[in-house]
C-alpha cells in the first residue's frame, strides 16, 4: 500500500467529524489517512445496512476503478470517529498505475484482501450456526481493528447489535442473547466503549472444546 502514497498525496483531502454520513463517488478511489469508517448501503425504504469497516491506511472504492467508473450502486460512508481521507479520480489513478512496474499487482493485492475477508464471512454464514458466526465476527473485528494484549484482543466498539446482526445474518435478539451468554461466561467484555475478546476461551467455544 505504501506505493500509493505519492498519488494520494496529490489528491483531494476531506475531513469528516464523527457520525457524519457522506456519499462516495463512483469515479474516485479513496485512502483513509486516519480514523475509521463504516461503508453502508441505503435501501429503498430508507433503512441502511453496514457492509464493512475501513481502518486507517486502507484503500477503498476499488470497484469504481474495476468498473471504469460505472455506477453499480450508491455507497455511503459514516465516520465512526473524526477521520481524514484522500481521493483521486480513477483516470488519474490509472495513469499512475501505468507508470509503476508493480502498481497493478499492489492494487490487486489490496482488492484481494477485501475479497478474502468477504469470503470468510460467507463461509461463516453458510457453515456456522448463529453463535459461531457472531464469535467469528468478534474475533475478526477485534483482531483487525484492535490491539493484542497477552491473551486478549481489545478494540473500540463501533458496532451496534443491529449491525452485528446484519453482518452475521442473525436476528438482533439472537445477537443480544449470544453476547450476554459470552459475557456471563467471561469470554468477552462488551460495552458501548470497547470490545475485549479473551482469545483462548472464545476459540475453545468456537471449536467445541468446552
What value, to the nearest 5°, has the Cα angle with vertex 133 and ends 18 and 170? 75
- Crossing angle of helices 161-168/103-127, nearest 10°? 90
Q: What counts of helices (H) and strands (E) characterise the chain?
A: 8, 12
Q: Are 50 and 163 in contact (CB under 8 A)?
A: yes
Does residue 26 register a pLDDT over 50?
yes
- What pLDDT, on the 0 to 100 scale, is given for residue 111? 74
Contacts of 82 by beta carbon, 8 Å cutoff, 6+ apart: 15, 16, 17, 18, 35
Q: Are 26 and 72 in contact (CB under 8 A)?
A: yes
The percent of residues in the chain predicted with pLDDT above 90, rounded, is 30
Judge if pTM exceeds 0.85: no
CA distance 126 to 93: 36
Q: Provide the grid cell at 51.
A: 457492509
For the chain, the structural domain boundaries read: 2-121, 129-206
- What pLDDT, on the 0 to 100 scale, is given for residue 67? 63
Q: Which residue has the higher pLDDT, 128 or 40?
A: 40
Q: Which residue has the higher pLDDT, 21 or 67?
A: 21
**Architecture of the 2-121 domain:** Sandwich (2.60)
CA distance 136 to 112: 20
Distances (CA, A) of 133 to 11, 53, 109, 115, 129: 39, 17, 26, 18, 6
Q: Are 59 and 110 in contact (CB under 8 A)?
A: yes
Q: Which residue has the higher pLDDT, 100 or 34?
A: 34
CA distance 55 to 35: 7
CATH 3.40.640.10 given to domain 129-206: no
Q: Using 50, 70 and 90 to split pLDDT, how confident is the model at 204?
A: low
Contacts of 71 by beta carbon, 8 Å cutoff, 6+ apart: 26
Residue-wise pLDDT for 94-145, tens only, equals 888 787 767 667 777 777 777 777 777 677 666 678 888 899 899 888 988 8
Residue-wise pLDDT for 50-69, tens only, equals 888 888 888 888 666 666 65
Average pLDDT in the chain? 82
Amino acid at each position: 500500500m505504501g506505493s500509493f502514497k505519492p498519488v494520494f498525496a496529490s489528491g483531494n483531502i476531506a475531513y469528516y467529524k464523527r457520525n457524519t454520513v457522506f456519499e462516495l463517488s463512483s469515479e474516485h478511489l479513496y485512502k483513509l489517512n486516519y480514523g475509521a469508517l463504516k461503508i453502508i448501503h441505503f435501501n429503498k425504504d430508507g433503512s441502511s445496512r453496514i457492509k464493512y469497516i475501513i481502518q486507517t491506511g486502507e484503500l477503498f472504492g476499488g470497484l469504481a476503478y474495476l468498473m471504469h467508473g460505472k455506477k453499480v450502486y450508491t455507497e455511503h460512508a459514516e465516520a465512526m470517529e473524526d477521520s481524514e481521507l484522500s481521493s483521486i479520480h480513477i483516470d488519474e489513478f490509472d495513469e499512475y498505475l501505468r507508470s509503476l512496474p508493480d502498481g497493478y499487482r499492489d492494487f490487486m493485492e489490496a482488492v484481494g484482501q477485501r475479497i478474502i475477508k468477504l469470503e470468510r464471512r460467507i463461509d461463516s454464514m453458510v457453515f456456522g450456526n448463529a453463535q459461531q458466526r457472531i464469535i467469528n465476527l468478534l474475533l475478526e473485528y477485534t483482531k483487525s481493528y484492535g490491539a493484542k494484549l497477552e491473551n486478549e484482543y481489545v478494540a473500540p466498539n463501533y458496532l451496534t447489535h443491529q449491525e452485528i446482526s446484519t453482518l452475521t445474518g442473525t436476528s438482533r435478539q439472537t445477537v443480544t442473547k449470544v453476547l450476554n451468554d459470552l459475557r456471563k461466561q467471561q469470554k468477552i467484555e462488551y460495552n458501548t466503549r470497547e470490545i475485549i475478546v479473551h482469545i483462548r476461551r472464545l476459540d475453545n467455544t468456537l471449536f467445541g472444546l468446552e
